[in-house]
Each structure stands twice: as structure tokens, then as C-alpha cells.
Structure 1
Amino acid sequence: MNQEYSGSGDPRKSLELLWGLQPTPTRGPKPALTVGQIVEAAVRIADAEGLSAMSIRRVADELGVGAMTLYRYFPGKGELIDVMLDTVYGELPRREVRGDWRTRLDEVARENRRLYLDHPWLLQVGVSRPPLGPHVMAKYEWELSAVEGIGLTDVEMDAAVALVNGFVQAAVRSAVEARQVILRSGITDKEWWLAHEPLLDKIGDTKKFPLASRVGTTFGHEFGAPYDSEHSFEFGLARLLDGIAALLRSR
């Protein structure tokens, strides 16, 4: 997947767009579009075709206007991506979850996973310089509230949230890649392995690779494939939360 980066455009222009601070034109024709309409079209394209297919010209075509019309709103793709990110982050429900920190952090992980699965192009955007829009800030506030007052320092709270988000991104990336392989090949993982089973039986060496043969066979029989994204996510999230729990017990 081609990689893009938030904050790659003009930061001042992005912040103006994110917070609705851009000056209102006093001359010229009345704007034919809104920022929201443009972003909605851009997200729709990215969802359907990937971020590499999304460009100012492509969005303009989608809206039935010339590219120069969109440049009245966005200087370039960088600023548009910043607003797209903030917009889809606004889809997180950010519910107030009753229960202990583990229940709350589990909710954070699952809602972020759902968001990435709904918008796989998010995986193509590096956010080391996140667009500090209202939804980005609200998302961070909600995630931190899951670990507020449980015995972590402020730095550890930030690290715990980053750890969960990093795990979710890695888990979803694997799930999305597995889904894309099925879509592009037209066959399921189980069908693929069954088709190659005769050859695999010939090259399999249980004496040379006893662990790989035993464990791989057991997993394959259990899930019908060498990889299962649901199992991987559930197992990994539980172990991650176990690790934070162990840290808290050590205090």
C-alpha cells in the first residue's frame, strides 16, 4: 500500500479547515460546495478504491466540477487527507463504558478496530504528526479516559493508549491483507490450501520441521486456514491487557 502522511501539507491551512477558521471570501462567486461535501466524496473514493486512487482531480470528477474549483478550498492532497482523518475519527461513538479500566480499554481497542475495518485506507496514513482537529483531540481524550486514575503516570497513560492503537493497526493490517487476497484471487484460504494439499504433503518434512508441522497442522484443522484474524486479535488484545495488569499489580 502506498503511504501518505498527515501534516504533509500547509499546517496552518489544515488547522483553519479543521476548525472552520478559514476566512470567508468577500469577492467572487458564491462557493458551490462545502468542505464537508468535498471530504465526504474523498472518503467515499478512498473507501472504495484506496487512498492512492484519491486525488484532487478524482474528487472533482466525482463531484462534477473542475479541479480548480476544489483548489479554492484545499491547496492540495495533504490538507485534504488531514481533514479526511479528522472526519472519520468523528465516527467513533466514544461511549462512556461502565466497568474497570480493562473493560474501558477493551472498548477503545474494538472501536478503533471497527473504524480501521470500515476505512482500510487509514492504514496508509502515517500520523506521527497528527492533524489536531476537533475529532482527533476528542478521540485522544476518550482513549486517555480509559486509563485515567488507575495508577499510571501521564507518560505511561499516553504509552498505554499508543500501545493499544499500535496493536490494533497491526492486527487490522493483517486482516485487511487477508481479505484483499481473497477478493483478488477469488478463492478462500481453505480452498487455496486444499488445492495445494497434494504438493504440500510431498514437501512436508515432519522430522526436519517437527514443531512447524505439528502446530501448523493443528491450527489449520482448528480454523481451516493458516491464519485467522479474529483469533489473532482476541488473543493479542487479551495478552496486551494482561501485561498492563501485571504492571499495575507491581506498583
Structure 2
Amino acid sequence: MVKVPADRPIRSGNGSVPDGGPITRERILTAALAIIDGDGIDALSMRRLGKALGRDPMTLYRHAPNKAALLDAVAESVLDQLEVDTDDGDWATQLREVARGFRRLALDHPHVVPLLVTRPLSTPLGLRPLGTLRPLEKILSLLTRAGFTGTDALHIYRALFGFLHGHVLNELQEIVERPDEHDDLLRLGLHRLPIGEFPLLRGLAPVLASYDGAAELERGLDILITGLTATLPHPDSPAPAVS
């Protein structure tokens, strides 16, 4: 079930609010997400959504004035499930939990990932749906409460979600050409690559074939958080020695 406030209307890009009605926001978004999960973003239309809800599609425009508003609302409803504990004193551990939560949402709703990763880039920050900005605000709150400046907190957020977006896109695109093949080169289709041009990539076939998304995430977080801890000033860090 999609976690959304049932009484909050779906707003269009110009801020207009559709009329109320017997169909709630929660029912609309649950049905829309089910269609996207099953068949992808392109499969979602007002006609199909109306059929899923047992309503004339024209009545849905009172709740979602266009498909763009509907897609934004779906993205908001999914991101609303991403928990950020702004009171956690251990900022590094909390960032790990956020990263794991984001990956779980991506794996649960792979067809929604473009709405979370690429669609926001086409809209100025201040014009994006408020629900898509709340994780940013919460992480800034977490990090500034931990003692980081607002500027450094923003750098950390950008580094974390830049890594996360790349990770989930890579993980969802890991496709094995021949699942029943025992030879790693053949399983991944790497035998098609000229050995003279791609010796290193072909040599990594066993590593690529044993790809573990959860382990890759943790390794990436180790590198990221270690680097952030080492390079960003923090009030709790000892002052550098004066020579």
C-alpha cells in the first residue's frame, strides 16, 4: 500500500487543486503505482487508470489534471517511504540506513526509478514537487544538527545521492545474457568483445558475474563516508596542530 496522506490533493505544475470526490489520493496513487510496477511508465494513462479504478477516465482529471502531475505524485508517494531520522547522533550510520532504504525502494519499484533519478533534473529545484525535496531537507537537518555547516551538508547530500542514483541504475541494468552458462565470459556476453581491445574487462568476468548489489552498495558507502570524514571539517574533530 502506498503511504500517502489520503486528504492531500494531487497538484498540477501550476499549483491548481482539483475538486474533491469519492476517489481518494491514496486509491489513485496505489492504482497508478501498480500499473507502473507491472508494465512501466509508458503503460500508465488516464484511460487505463480509470479502468483500474472502475471510473470514467474524465472524472480523474479532477484529481490529477495531467499525466505529469500524476507521475510527480507517484514519485512523491514512493519517496515518502524513505525514512530519515534527523535526531540520530551518528550521522554516518544514518546515511547508511538512508542509502539502504533508497536501494530497497528502487528494487521494489524499478520502473519508478526514472521518476526518482532523471525526471527531477528537467525541473528547477524550487519547482519540483515538495515531497521529492523532503529527503534533501531532512538530510540537511541531520547533518547540520551533527555539526556540519549548511554548505558541507549540501556537499554530503550531493555526493551520497549522486552515488546512490548511479548505483541503482547500474544494479537494475545488470543483465546476464545466458543465465544457464557456466563460463563467465559466455554468461555476460563478454566473449563478443575483441580481446585485444578489452583485455581488462574480459579478465574481470568472474567479478562481474558474481555481482552483489547489496555488497557493492556497502563497499561504495565505505569509500564515500571514509572520504567525507577525512576531508570535511567537523566541529568534533580535533583542531590541526600549529607548527
Q: The residue matched to 1:72 in structure 2 has which SS? A: coil
2:164 to 164, 168, 192: 168
Other-structure match for 2:225: 241
Q: How many residues align?
A: 217
Classify 1:202/1:59 alpha carbon distance in 2 versus 1 (closer, same or farther; 3 Å). closer
Distance 1:61 1:151, change over 3 A: same
User: Partner of 1:148: helix, strand, or coil?
Assistant: helix
**RCO comparison, higher one (Cα < 8 Å, 6+):** 1
Q: Does 1:66 align with 2:56?
A: yes
Cα distance change, pair 226–77 in 1 and its aligned pair in 2 (3 A)? same
Give distance in 2, aligned partners of 1:156 and 1:213: 40
Q: Distance in 2 between matches of 1:202 and 1:69?
A: 53
**Aligned-pair RMSD on alpha carbons?**
3.4
- More deviation in 112-121 or 96-105? 96-105
Cα deviation, residue 154, structure 1: 1.2
Q: Displacement, 1:95?
A: 3.9
* Structure 2 runs not aligned, ≥5 long: 1-11
TM-score between both structures, scaled by the size of structure 2: 0.73
Correspondent of 2:14 among 1, 11, 15: 11
1:54 Cα deviation after fit: 1.1
**Identity between Structure 1 and Structure 2 (%):** 29
Inter-CA distance 202–61: structure 2 relative to 1 (3 Å threshold):
closer
> Against the structure 1 CA distance between its residues 202 and 67, is the aligned structure 2 distance closer, same or farther, given a 3 Å change threshold?
closer
Aligned equivalent of 1:148:
144
* Deviation per residue, 1:180-231 (Å, 9 max, x gap): x46xx7x53x63745837x9789885x88664454x15525xxxx1644233
Out of 113-122 and 75-84, give the one that drifted further.
113-122
1:76 aligns with 2:66: yes
Contact 2:36 2:112 in 1 (8 A): no
Equivalence for 1:89: 79
Q: State the alpha-carbon separation in 1 of the partners of residues 192 and 111 from structure 2.
A: 40
Distance in 1, Cα, partners of 2:182 & 2:192: 16
Q: What SS does the corresponding residue of 2:83 show, helix, strand or coil?
A: coil
Flag the structure with higher helix content.
1
CA contact (8 A) 1:94 1:142 kept: yes
Return the offset for 1:171: 0.8
Q: TM-score normalised to the size of structure 1?
A: 0.71
Residue 127 of structure 1 aligns with an amino acid whose one-letter code is P
CA contact (8 A) 2:185 2:191 kept: no
Residue 207 (structure 2) aligns with: 219
Q: 1:27-73 CA deviation, whole Å, 9 max, x = no partner?
A: xxxx3412221111101111221111112111111112221111122
Contact 1:39 1:84 in 2 (8 A): yes
